[in-house]
Chains A and B, each alone.
Chain A
C-alpha cells in the first residue's frame, strides 16, 4: 500500500539499526513526545532492535492521558444532564474519571456518542435543535484547528445548541517543564510530526538553544522513527544541538498558517492542569471571551465537580519520563486496560497501554 509500505521495509529498517549501532559510543536517553510514536515503537518492536546504550523514554504527548481528571468528571456531569447529547472522540470514552467513565455513563442512560470529527457533532446539533450538543475538545495542536473550525462554523450557522468542553494542551510548554525539572535526564527529543505539521518548528528553536539539546521533528512510521532516532543520536554524538526535521514530507518551519490563524482567532493561551503532572503555565487553549457562548463550562452549572485520583497511579512520573510503566506496582495487576487506574492504561496513545498490549508485561 502506497504511503505505508515504503516506510515499513525490513531491509531499510535493518540499515538504520546497523547505522545506529555503529554510531553510538555511549549511553543516551531520548524522549519521544507523542503517544502515537510510543505505540509504534513498541508495536513494531523497534525498542527491542536498538542497542542497549539507547534508552527511550515516553513523553506526555497523549491527549487522553493528560486531560485533567476534573474535566473528565465535568464531561460525565454534563453528559448526564437531561437533553444533552455528549459527543467525543472514541479514545476518551473509556478514560476513568474519579468514579466513572463516559462509556459507563452511557450504559446508565446518558446519550454519549462517538464522533470522528467535531464537524460531526456540529451536524448533530443541526439535526437536533431541541437538544444541547456538547463536544469534548481534547488534544494537542493537532486537533485544535478542527475544533476551532467547528466553533467558527457554529457561529456562521447561528447554532445556539452547540458548545465545546475545551481541554486543549500545548507541546512546547510541556517540553520546557520536563527540561526545567531538577530530575531531568532527557538528552534529546523526538518532537511530534503532526503537531509540527500545524505549528511549524519555530517555537522549538529557543528551547533547543536554551537547553542546548537536539530536537528532531519525527513522523510515526517505523522508518520515520528509526531515522529520527538516528538524526538525534548523530547530533548527540557530534555534540550538536538545534531543531532538525525528519518528517519533511509534512512539516515546514512555518507550519500551516491558515490553521494557525483560525486557532488564534478562536482560542487564547491559558494555564492548564495536566493530569498526573500538575499546573503548567501557559500550556493550554481556552475559548476567547468573544466565543464564550460556545463554552460548555459556562453553559452548564459545574461548580460541585471535585476530582480524586487513584493513590496507586504513578501516571505523572510516567508522563514526565521519570518512570516506565513496568516500574509501577499496579501495572498489570490492579491496573489493566479492563480496569485502568490512570489514563495511560486506556488510550491508543498511552504508554502503559502500549507496554501492556504489545508485550512488555510478558
Chain B
C-alpha cells in the first residue's frame, strides 16, 4: 500500500504551474516524487523515452506522448504530424522499429471541422511517410473554453532491433556525443509564431521523423550505439543532464561545436534564451563508442535529417551527474537542468 499523502509539500506548490510541464527540474520532480513512487515498477524506473517489455523472447518498445501545441499550425509543421513523429521518434530512441500507433483526440466544442480535417490529413501523411499504421483511437469533446482546439495523445508499440541495447545507463567515459543538426528550432519557431515576434528570417520548426536516420545509425553503430535520446521539451541540456545522472558520468560539451542556425541564435540572443534549453522535434542525440563515432557521424551527415550533424562533446569520468561546457572564449561552466520555463528577460 502506498501512503496517500502528497509527497510534494503543499507549501511549495499548492497548485500545478506551467513549469511542471516544462521538461525541466519541476517536471522531473513530479515524475520522481509522485509518478514513480505511486506506480512503482522496474520498467518505469528506467525513465527512458519508452518502456521495453519482454514478450516470448521478443522485446517490445511501448511509448506514449500528448501534444498540446498552440498554434495548431506553425512554420515547419502542425499538431497532427508532430503527434505522429513524436511517438515514432520516442520508439526509435528505444532502438525499436514501430509497429502501430493509437491516437486519442480531445476536441474543443466549436473547433472548425475544416481545421480538424487538416490535422487528420497531416497525421495520415505523416503515418504513411514513416510506414506506421494508426490502428485504433478514441475521441472526446470538451465544452468550449475547456480545451485549446485540439489535444492529441499518441501511443505506439514497436519491436526493439536484435543486438541493440539502448539505455541512458550505457553512457561510459570516452563515448562521443553526437547530434544530427541545429538545435532549438522548434521551440523558437513556436514562440515566434505564438507571440507574434517578427524576425527578418522565418523561423521554421525542425519537426521531422527520425526513424530512418536512427535505423541507419544502428546499422553502422550496432551495439556501440549506447544511448539515443530526442531532446524535446527542456532541450539538449535537460536530456544530457538526465543521461549524466542516470549513468553516473560527466558530460563535457564544446559550445563552438554545437550547431545553431544564425536565425535561431539571433532570436535567442534577443529574448535572452539559451538554445540548449529550447525544445527540438527533429533532433536525436546519439552517445556512441569512440571507435564508431566518425562512421556514425558520416552516416548522419549523408542522411537528409542529418546534414548538419556534429560531434558536440564527450562523456568523461569527472564530475559524475553533471554537464560542463567549454564556452566560446575558453571558459568553463556548468550546464544545469532547466528549472522552469525560460522567461524572456527585461533588458
Determine how close the nearest CB of chain B comes to the CB of A159; give it in whole angstroms: 20
Interface flag for B1 (CB, 8 Å): no
B333–A64 CB distance below 8 A: no
- Give A81 to B347 CA distance when docked, in angstroms: 28
A90–B347 CB distance below 8 A: no
Determine how close the nearest CB of chain B comes to the CB of A127; give it in whole angstroms: 13
Contacts A107-B15, A357-B336, A362-B322 given; indicate if A348 touches B343 (C-beta within 8 A): yes
A138–B265 CB distance below 8 A: no
Interface flag for A215 (CB, 8 Å): no
Q: Mark A40-55, 1 if CB is under 8 A from B, else 0.
A: 0011111111000000
Q: Mark B307-347, 1 if CB is under 8 A from A, else 0.
A: 00000000000010010101111111110100110011111
Which of B16-24, B103-111, B222-230, B295-303 lies on the face that meets chain A? B16-24
Contacts of A28 in B (CB 8 A): none
- Give A43 to B331 CA distance when docked, in angstroms: 8
Q: Mark B16-58, 1 if CB is under 8 A from A, else 0.
A: 1111000001100100000000000000000000000000000
- Give A362 to B252 CA distance when docked, in angstroms: 14
Which of A173-181, A248-256, A331-339 lies on the face that meets chain B? A331-339
- Give A89 to B344 CA distance when docked, in angstroms: 7
Interface flag for A206 (CB, 8 Å): no
Interface flag for B137 (CB, 8 Å): no
Determine how close the nearest CB of chain B comes to the CB of A360; give it in whole angstroms: 8
B328–A8 CB distance below 8 A: yes
B345–A89 CB distance below 8 A: yes
Contacts A48-B331, A357-B334, A358-B334 given; indicate if A36 touches B339 (C-beta within 8 A): no
Closest to B15 in A: A107
B330–A13 CB distance below 8 A: yes
Contacts A44-B333, A48-B332, A357-B336 given; indicate if A338 touches B25 (C-beta within 8 A): yes
CB contact between A336 and one of B13, B319, B331, B339 (< 8 Å): that residue: B339
Interface residues of A in 6-21 (CB under 8 A from B): 8-10, 13-14
Interface flag for B202 (CB, 8 Å): no
- Give A25 to B25 CA distance when docked, in angstroms: 44
Contacts of B18 in A (CB 8 A): 103, 107
Interface flag for A216 (CB, 8 Å): no
Determine how close the nearest CB of chain B comes to the CB of A87; give it in whole angstroms: 13
Interface flag for B195 (CB, 8 Å): yes
CB contact between A138 and one of B16, B272, B332, B346 (< 8 Å): that residue: B346
B328–A359 CB distance below 8 A: no
By secondary structure, the B interface counts as loop
Interface flag for A286 (CB, 8 Å): no
B334–A362 CB distance below 8 A: yes
CB contact between A107 and one of B16, B26, B266, B329 (< 8 Å): that residue: B16
B329–A44 CB distance below 8 A: yes
Closest to B266 in A: A1
A359–B336 CB distance below 8 A: yes
B197–A116 CB distance below 8 A: yes
Interface flag for B200 (CB, 8 Å): no
Interface flag for A324 (CB, 8 Å): no
Contacts of B195 in A (CB 8 A): 116
Which of B19, B25, B29, B343 is the most central at the interface, judged by chain A CB atoms within 10 Å of its CB?
Answer: B343
B328–A44 CB distance below 8 A: yes
B347–A36 CB distance below 8 A: yes
Closest to B343 in A: A90
- Give A4 to B272 CA distance when docked, in angstroms: 14
- Give A138 to B259 CA distance when docked, in angstroms: 35
B344–A10 CB distance below 8 A: no
Interface flag for B262 (CB, 8 Å): yes
A14–B343 CB distance below 8 A: no
Interface flag for B114 (CB, 8 Å): no
- Give A362 to B244 CA distance when docked, in angstroms: 14
Which of B262, B265, B346 is the most central at the interface, judged by chain A CB atoms within 10 Å of its CB?
Answer: B346
Contacts of A142 in B (CB 8 A): 347
Which of A91-99, A228-236, A287-295 lies on the face that meets chain B? A91-99
Contacts of A264 in B (CB 8 A): none
B345–A91 CB distance below 8 A: yes
Closest to A359 in B: B334
The chain A residues found within 8 Å of chain B, CB to CB, are: 1, 4, 8-10, 13-14, 36, 42-49, 63-64, 89-94, 103-104, 106-108, 114, 116, 138-140, 142-143, 194, 222-223, 336-339, 347-349, 356-359, 362
The chain B residues found within 8 Å of chain A, CB to CB, are: 12-19, 25-26, 29, 195, 197, 262, 265-266, 269, 272, 319, 322, 324, 326-334, 336, 339-340, 343-347
A-B contacts, 17 listed (Cβ < 8 Å): A10-B329, A36-B345, A42-B333, A44-B328, A45-B326, A46-B331, A64-B346, A89-B344, A90-B345, A94-B19, A103-B18, A104-B15, A116-B195, A143-B347, A337-B340, A338-B29, A357-B334
Closest 7 pairs between A and B when the two form their complex, measured CB to CB: A45-B331, A359-B334, A90-B343, A337-B339, A13-B329, A90-B344, A358-B333
